[in-house]
Amino acid sequence: MPGGEPASVIYSRRAMRLRSSGGYRLFWTASTVSGFGSQITALAVAVLIVTTLGGTAADVGLVNAARWLPYPLLGVVVGAMVDRVPRKPLLVGADLARAALLSAVPLLALPDLLSVPVLVGIMALFGLASLVNDAAHQSFLPRLLPREVLPWANARLEQSAAAAETSGPAIAGGLVS
């Protein structure tokens, strides 16, 4: 190890640097909340289509396809655009846009204006906002922390993502029921 220090001392310093970075803590928290929200949304929308809108499995597939369609269609363009602007406003704006789009679902359902085609449009826009968020998210962390702690910071983000992927659907099931 550099300077003859034991690995535990080096790891401890890196962990302290992560904990002392307020910007990283906020970024990690926001990423975790967003990850859980995405997992809950996926199941809740499928249940909504089948139970409330009387949709079929094909309708569920159509709405899910609309959610992911912006990635192959616009991924390169959005990635290039994200590289030219500050990331933080994009991250915040994309999350706010996704929240507004998801809020539109119950608001449209109240006066009985929600249908599968409307949900396809909402989810396509949601997918576009998610694409912007994902592109900005990937390049934000290296600007937030020094290079030597990036592996630990990425590990924490991936742990949160794994927790959201495994327990998010269970939480969604509880919320939906």
| pTM for this predicted structure | 0.83
Q: How far apart are CA 134 and CA 126, in angstroms?
A: 12
The predicted structure's pLDDT at residue 146: 83
The predicted structure's pLDDT at residue 59: 97
pLDDT in tens, the chain (177 residues): 455 655 444 455 555 566 666 788 888 888 899 899 888 988 999 999 999 999 999 999 999 999 999 999 999 999 999 999 999 899 999 999 999 999 999 999 999 999 999 999 999 999 999 999 999 988 888 888 888 888 888 888 999 999 999 998 888 888 877
Segment 42-49 long-range contacts (CB within 8 Å, at least 24 positions apart): 42/169, 42/172, 43/168, 43/169, 43/172, 43/173, 43/176, 44/172, 44/175, 44/176, 45/105, 45/119, 45/123, 47/176, 48/105, 48/119, 49/116, 49/119
Segment 63-70 long-range contacts (CB within 8 Å, at least 24 positions apart): 63/116, 63/119, 63/120, 63/123, 64/123, 66/120, 66/121, 66/123, 66/124, 66/127, 67/123, 67/124, 67/126, 67/127, 67/130, 68/127, 69/124, 69/127, 70/124, 70/127, 70/128, 70/130, 70/131
The predicted structure's pLDDT at residue 150: 86
What the chain holds in terms of domains, given with CATH numbers, is 2-176 (1.20.1250)
